Amino acid sequence: MAAFSAGQALAQTHPYEAVEEVRDWRVDVGGGGIYGFNPGGGASDQLNFTFWGSASYKDRIFANGLDGIGYNIVKQDRLRMGVALRPAYGAESELEGLELAEFGADLTAYAYQRLPGNVVIGGRIQRDVTDVSDGTSYFAQVSQQSITRVGLLNLTAYLSAGDANRNMTYLGITEEEAAATDYDFYDPGAGFTRGGVAALLAIPILDDYGVGGFVNYERAIDVAADSPLILDSKNEEDTFRYGIIFVRRFASDT
């Protein structure tokens, strides 16, 4: 999903080399087809239409479908640090007796530093503030962004982890759920959960339109790889996502 935002939303939290002038405000709206992710919590193993929206004010205050609503406390040429209220997307259970995590929100602190070659490293810490998991998760990444003859190319590798509460909510099987289903009891504890790579190509169309296509490969690791929810035939260790998004941009003159 990081691929959606390489054009504008990634630039809100990541200090890539500027590709356009900072405006007082910007708004991007659009949508497209996505395979492997459903923000509504429905089936992800099919092509789903997804709306996209992104906005920013003076490159300080921002909002988008991935990062939620945030503020860049530190905004320097090579460094971004800030806070955000980030959505935590849930899923719908198709099995009676099994409860999956609902939609929630995380209070997030992030920091990203640009290195030579327009490489950005950093990550974020997320704490659930909606009583969904009462847990904390961690996310680290390295990415590189470049301008090609076709458009803006963003390449990213990432790693995630969670504490015991977070992992139990999203990966575990309680004793009650084990008794009501065919799953075995599973308490993952704290540990790494996923690692992956993603690539996006964002192509401008005229002055106010754009299209972005992305591919994403993700693998469940460590405590996630042993989760009955992952080992189930519908939730394999390897996840592939891809899609295409069309966007219309609105912006102030200055």
From the list 119, 193, 191, the residue with the least C-alpha distance to 156 is 119
Q: Report whether 224 contacts 190 (CB < 8 A).
A: no
Nearest one of 190, 243, 253 to 30, comparing CA atoms: 243
CATH code of 60's domain: 2.40.160
- The tens digit of pLDDT for each residue in 63-95 reads 988 889 999 999 999 999 999 999 998 877 777
**Tally of domains in the chain:** 1
Share of the chain above pLDDT 90, in %: 60
What average pLDDT does the segment 23-29 reach?
90
pLDDT for residue 9: 52
Q: Specify the 3-state DSSP secondary structure of 231.
A: helix
The Cα–Cα gap between 130 and 14 comes to 26
Q: Tell me which H or E stretch contains 211.
A: strand 209-220
Q: pTM to 2 decimals?
A: 0.88
Mean pLDDT of 36-51: 70
Residue 88, H or E segment: strand 79-88
Q: Cα(132)–Cα(69) distance, rounded to whole angstroms?
A: 19
Q: Which pLDDT tens digit goes with each residue over 235-247? A: 567 889 999 999 9
Tell me: pLDDT of 28 over 60.
yes
Q: Which residue range(s) make up the domain with 6?
A: 2-251
Question: What count of Cα atoms within 13 Å lies in the side-chain half-sphere of residue 143?
Answer: 30
Burial bucket for residue 166 (CB in 10 Å: 0-12, 13-18, 19+): buried
- Would you say residue 111 has pLDDT above 50? yes
Beta pairing, strands 238-251 & 25-35: antiparallel
Indicate the pLDDT class of residue 206, thresholds 50, 70 and 90.
Answer: confident
